[in-house]
């Protein structure tokens, strides 16, 4: 492991403010040990790290500052865990409230204070072992220097092959981001496939988040019978369909509430999270305003703000949000959560050579009638559906131009099995 040497020249590179951070990863170097904090494979935290991934942290900024400084979470690159203070001791967590720290400047150094208890802070003894969080003063044991990993000079630079790999990975990431943004814009401009909340579909609603097999869900309003949707401009409504703006990743917290599990819902298209701020439903960056208790109510759920359960998500019949503190237990504040992988919306591509003219009904191949060789098939008329097919398949054909992502398809059919 390459060694981190805190020379005066290196110390001069310490960030004066997180606003100076150009990359996304940092070294957090103890003033007591002159070594970076690291998360060991067993989950213990020490201050004797080097230049490897166990000593690098991604900075996850909160969506509101504290009077003492910005509020952030530090995610370890190697383990994916976050620095946390629990029970008065430094440890790791899953990204919840115990993982939020105030970065308070102290000349060139900083104090790392727990957001919901600023008397508790990160600190280390000279041997690199953590100090109980509530016993620290303003001395060197609790002071740190934060460095942008991209600016720290390492003993050996990357090889030409590594530089090419990094450049290729960065280009691929940019292409994926551009493709996702193009998809979201195209979906917003095109007629969207409709989500039909039939009794059969409603029966697929999750009874518990433990039943979730994938990572994405539709959150369907009992008031509008449509999914919650986050628009590219950040507005949230309950008039969604079957598109990325109505898909949400479920990010579970590291501790439950007595009313139910605590989760964050990250929109698939925008990357933002559902949030309640100042009593209004909006979007956020993943901080405490984005944490919701999922409280079961028979087949439905209430989505209550974790740090204020009297505030909850709800919508009017027109799909517009209701002020969060005015909701009761009626349908405006009830939702059904569906595993996106289980919802019966199956994309089918129609090749150009066999595309069905617009004036003729399309009968999917799986349900087409194959006549007996000695009994001709009955004549079909436009709009006619045989009795045994009625109520089995509803076809919603959507013409979508999504550029290079689906350039080889000109039509897409979404079939709902009712």
pLDDT tens-place string over residues 56-103: 999 998 877 788 889 999 999 999 999 999 999 999 999 999 999 999
Residue 305: per-residue pLDDT? 94
Q: Is the pLDDT of residue 174 over 90?
A: no
Question: Per this entry, what is the length of the chain?
Answer: 418
Mean residue pLDDT of the chain comes to: 78
Q: Is the pLDDT of residue 107 over 50?
A: yes
Q: Is the pLDDT of residue 378 over 60?
A: no
Average pLDDT over residues 113-142: 93
Q: Is the pLDDT of residue 235 over 60?
A: yes
Residue 274: per-residue pLDDT? 96
Residue 102: per-residue pLDDT? 94
Most confident range, picked from 155-164, 206-215, 291-300: 291-300
Quick check: helix, strand or coil at residue 160? helix
Q: How confident is the model at residue 19 (pLDDT cuts 50, 70, 90)?
A: confident
Contact 400, 190 (CB under 8 A): yes
The CA distance from 356 to 363, in Å, is 10
The encoded tokens of residue 147 equal 């460095």
Average pLDDT over residues 326-350: 75
The CA distance from 87 to 413, in Å, is 54
Give the Cβ contact number of residue 79 at 10 Å.
16
CA neighbor of 293 nearest in space, from 323, 326, 260: 260
Residue 379: per-residue pLDDT? 46
Alpha-carbon dihedral of residues 120, 126, 127, 129, nearest 10 degrees? Answer: 0
Residue 211: per-residue pLDDT? 82
Residue 160: per-residue pLDDT? 58
Q: Is the pLDDT of residue 30 over 70?
A: yes
Q: How confident is the model at residue 192 (pLDDT cuts 50, 70, 90)?
A: low
Q: How confident is the model at residue 7 (pLDDT cuts 50, 70, 90)?
A: confident
In angstroms, the Cα distances linking 126 to 30, 35, 85, 290 are 9, 10, 20, 38
Bridge partners (DSSP) listed for residue 315: 321
Q: Is the pLDDT of residue 42 over 50?
A: yes
Tell me the pLDDT tens digit for each residue of 195-225. Answer: 777 787 888 888 888 888 878 899 999 999 9
Give the DSSP letter of residue 215.
S
Q: Is the pLDDT of residue 9 over 60?
A: yes
pLDDT over 70 percentage in the chain: 75
Q: How confident is the model at residue 264 (pLDDT cuts 50, 70, 90)?
A: very high
The CA distance from 392 to 368, in Å, is 13
The CA distance from 340 to 348, in Å, is 17
Q: How confident is the model at residue 158 (pLDDT cuts 50, 70, 90)?
A: low
Contact 344, 195 (CB under 8 A): no
Domain 189-339 belongs in CATH node 2.80.10.50: yes
Average pLDDT over residues 169-178: 77
What residue ranges of the chain are covered by domains with CATH 2.80.10.50?
8-148, 189-339
Average pLDDT over residues 252-275: 89
Average pLDDT over residues 337-354: 56
Contact 251, 268 (CB under 8 A): no
Residue 162: per-residue pLDDT? 60
Residue 281: per-residue pLDDT? 95
Tell me the pLDDT tens digit for each residue of 379-403. Answer: 444 444 343 333 333 334 333 333 3
Q: Is the pLDDT of residue 306 over 50?
A: yes
Domain 8-148 belongs in CATH node 2.80.10.50: yes
Residue 370: per-residue pLDDT? 46
The CA distance from 280 to 321, in Å, is 8
The CA distance from 310 to 389, in Å, is 47
Q: Is the pLDDT of residue 139 over 60?
A: yes
Rg from Cα positions in the chain: 27
Residue 384: per-residue pLDDT? 41
Place of tokens 């740090």: 307
Average pLDDT over residues 351-372: 41
Q: How confident is the model at residue 12 (pLDDT cuts 50, 70, 90)?
A: confident
Residue 153: per-residue pLDDT? 54
Residue 328: per-residue pLDDT? 87
The string of DSSP codes covering 336-403 is: EEEETTTS-EEEEE--GGGPPPTTS----GGG-----TTSPPPP--TT---TTTTTTEEEEEE----G
Residue 408: per-residue pLDDT? 33
Out of 33-42, 342-351, 384-393, which region has the weakest mean confidence (pLDDT)? Answer: 384-393
Contact 266, 310 (CB under 8 A): no
């Amino acid at each position: 492991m390459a060694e981190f040497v805190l020379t005066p020249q290196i110390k001069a590179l310490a960030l004066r403010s997180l606003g100076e951070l150009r990359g996304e990863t940092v070294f957090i170097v103890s003033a007591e040990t002159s070594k970076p904090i690291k998360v060991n494979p067993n989950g213990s935290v020490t201050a004797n790290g080097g230049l490897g991934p166990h000593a690098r942290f991604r900075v996850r900024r909160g969506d509101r500052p504290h009077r003492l400084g910005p509020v952030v979470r530090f995610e370890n690159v190697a383990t994916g865990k976050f620095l946390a203070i629990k029970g008065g001791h430094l440890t790791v967590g899953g990204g919840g409230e115990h993982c939020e720290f105030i970065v308070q400047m102290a000349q060139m150094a900083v104090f790392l204070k727990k957001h919901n208890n600023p008397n508790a802070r990160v600190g280390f003894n000279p041997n690199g072992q953590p100090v109980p969080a509530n016993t620290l003063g303003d001395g060197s044991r609790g002071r740190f220097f934060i460095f942008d990993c991209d600016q720290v000079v390492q003993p050996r630079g990357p090889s030409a092959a590594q530089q090419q790999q990094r450049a290729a990975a960065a280009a691929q990431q940019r292409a994926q981001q551009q493709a996702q943004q193009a998809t979201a814009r195209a979906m917003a401009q095109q007629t969207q496939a409709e989500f039909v909340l039939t009794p059969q579909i409603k029966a697929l609603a999750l009874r518990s988040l433990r039943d979730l097999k994938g990572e994405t869900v539709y959150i369907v309003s009992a008031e509008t019978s449509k999914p919650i949707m986050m628009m590219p401009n950040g507005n949230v409504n309950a008039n969604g369909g079957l598109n990325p703006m109505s898909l949400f990743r479920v990010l579970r917290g590291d501790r439950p509430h007595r009313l139910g599990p605590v989760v964050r819902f990250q929109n698939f298209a925008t990357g933002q999270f559902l949030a309640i701020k100042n009593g209004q439903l909006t979007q956020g960056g993943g901080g405490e305003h984005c944490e919701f208790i999922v409280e079961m109510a028979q087949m439905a759920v209430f989505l209550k703000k974790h740090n204020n359960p009297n505030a909850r998500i709800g919508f009017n019949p027109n799909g517009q949000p209701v002020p969060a503190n005015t909701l009761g237990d009626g349908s405006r504040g009830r939702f059904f959560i569906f595993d996106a992988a289980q919802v019966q919306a199956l994309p089918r591509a129609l090749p150009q050579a066999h595309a069905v003219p617009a004036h003729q009904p399309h009968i999917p191949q799986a349900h087409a009638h194959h006549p007996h060789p000695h009994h001709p098939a009955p004549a079909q008329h436009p709009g006619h559906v045989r009795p045994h097919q009625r109520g089995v398949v509803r076809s919603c054909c959507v013409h979508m131009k999504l550029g290079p992502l689906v350039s080889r398809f000109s039509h897409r059919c979404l079939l709902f099995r009712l």
